[in-house]
């Protein structure tokens, strides 16, 4: 039996579906089990900040997919996330899970200068040696992050970007690919700790996204740069706390500076879901 955290989200949901198709017995650990009841698998309460409940959710698992979602409204996102990271790690150890796949991120090898990804550096540190077989899955930036900019593209024909160089291509990957690779890794336990870097089929830029959207929407869409102040204000208006918004802006600056490139040494993989496919799905509300 495998346990999946975040099964109601894009990544965890994709992992769950991929494993369901292979006939694997599954359990979804959710902070709100009622919300997860329609997934068609066993559902239990498992809160990242409550070690006892999460350890109970992991009990008897052959493998577990774990993830840390930073608290969007926290006054100190890094500090609060560190507490959650320690709780998840303690739960894995208490339950004796033999094989763990942990969702991390490109840039998690850095202890600073990586924006909000710092919380995943801390997550990896907390999980070190927590299971005999441990995989840190480090995807590139998610292509689905364009979702928040699509209303402006539809209504005003502009695509705001927090990246300074609109024509610079960066590695990015669909959350669907991340979930599917996570499922593959759950089925491949190996002694020790592995790092798996995951990118999409090809790097892309804000200009590339605007070109695709122009075709999909049937009207011109122009990529436009957003200043740090504009980006933070837009994120806060969308419901994020000020500290989280600032750390997302720090992340854009780190990407611009080239600090979030994949370092040498990790196992490299590429997904198959294209920028075109992601934007088409997002425009269709899928």
From CA 160, how far away is CA 129, in angstroms rounded?
Answer: 41
Per-residue pLDDT of the chain (286 residues; tens, 9 = 90+): 999 999 999 999 999 999 999 999 999 998 887 887 888 899 998 889 899 999 999 999 999 999 999 998 999 999 999 999 999 999 999 999 999 999 999 999 999 999 999 999 999 999 999 999 999 999 999 999 999 899 999 999 999 998 889 999 999 999 999 999 999 999 999 999 999 999 999 999 999 999 999 999 999 999 999 989 988 988 888 888 999 999 999 998 988 888 888 988 879 999 999 999 999 999 996 5
From CA 270, how far away is CA 181, in angstroms rounded?
Answer: 9
Query: Residue 50: which of 84, 82, 76 has the closest Cα?
Result: 84
Q: What angle do CA 257, 69, 282 make, to 5 degrees?
A: 75
Is residue 260 within 8 Å of 106, Cβ to Cβ?
Answer: yes
What are phi and psi for residue 4, nearest 5 degrees?
-120, 120
From CA 107, how far away is CA 126, in angstroms rounded?
Answer: 16
CA atoms within 13 A on the CB side of 142: 18
- CATH, residue 142: 3.40.50.720
pLDDT tens digit sequence for 17-55:
999 999 999 999 988 878 878 888 999 988 898 999 999
Q: 262: which DSSP letter?
A: P
Is residue 240 within 8 Å of 72, Cβ to Cβ?
Answer: yes
The boundaries of the domain holding residue 36 are 2-283
63, containing H or E segment: strand 63-66
Supply the pLDDT for residue 286: 56
Q: How far apart are the first and last CA of the chain?
A: 29
Q: What angle do CA 45, 49, 51 make, to 5 degrees?
A: 70
Count of residues for the chain?
286
Q: Is 17 helix (H, G, I), strand (E, B) or coil?
A: helix
135, containing H or E segment: strand 133-139
From CA 56, how far away is CA 94, in angstroms rounded?
Answer: 9
Supply the pLDDT for residue 126: 98
In the block, residue with structure tokens 């198959």: 272
Number of compact structural domains in the chain = 1
pLDDT tens digit sequence for 176-213:
999 999 999 999 999 999 999 999 999 999 999 999 99
């Amino acid at each position: 039996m495998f346990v999946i955290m975040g099964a109601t989200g894009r990544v965890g949901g994709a992992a769950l579906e991929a494993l369901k198709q292979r006939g694997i017995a599954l359990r979804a650990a959710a902070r709100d089990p009622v919300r997860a009841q329609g997934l068609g698998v066993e559902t239990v309460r498992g809160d990242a900040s409550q070690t006892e409940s999460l350890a109970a959710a992991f009990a008897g698992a052959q493998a577990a997919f774990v993830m840390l979602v930073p608290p969007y409204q926290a006054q100190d996102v890094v500090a609060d996330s560190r507490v959650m990271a320690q709780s998840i790690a303690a739960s894995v150890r208490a339950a004796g899970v033999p094989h763990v796949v942990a969702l991390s991120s490109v840039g998690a090898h850095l202890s600073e200068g990586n924006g909000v990804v710092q919380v995943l550096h801390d997550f990896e540190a907390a999980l070190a040696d927590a299971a005999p077989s441990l995989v840190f899955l480090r995807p590139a930036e998610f292509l689905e992050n364009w979702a928040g900019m699509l209303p402006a593209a539809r209504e005003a024909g502009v695509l705001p970007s927090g990246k300074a160089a609109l024509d610079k291509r960066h590695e990015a990957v669909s959350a669907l690919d991340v979930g599917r690779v996570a499922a593959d890794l759950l089925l491949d336990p190996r002694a020790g700790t592995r790092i798996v870097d995951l990118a999409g089929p090809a790097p892309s830029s804000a200009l590339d996204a605007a070109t695709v959207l122009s075709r999909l929407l049937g009207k011109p869409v122009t990529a436009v740069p957003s200043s740090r102040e504009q980006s933070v204000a837009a994120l806060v208006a969308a419901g994020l706390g000020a500290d989280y918004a600032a750390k997302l802006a720090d992340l854009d600056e780190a990407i611009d500076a080239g600090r979030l490139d994949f370092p040498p040494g990790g196992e490299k993989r590429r997904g198959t879901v294209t920028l075109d496919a992601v934007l088409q799905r997002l425009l269709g509300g899928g």
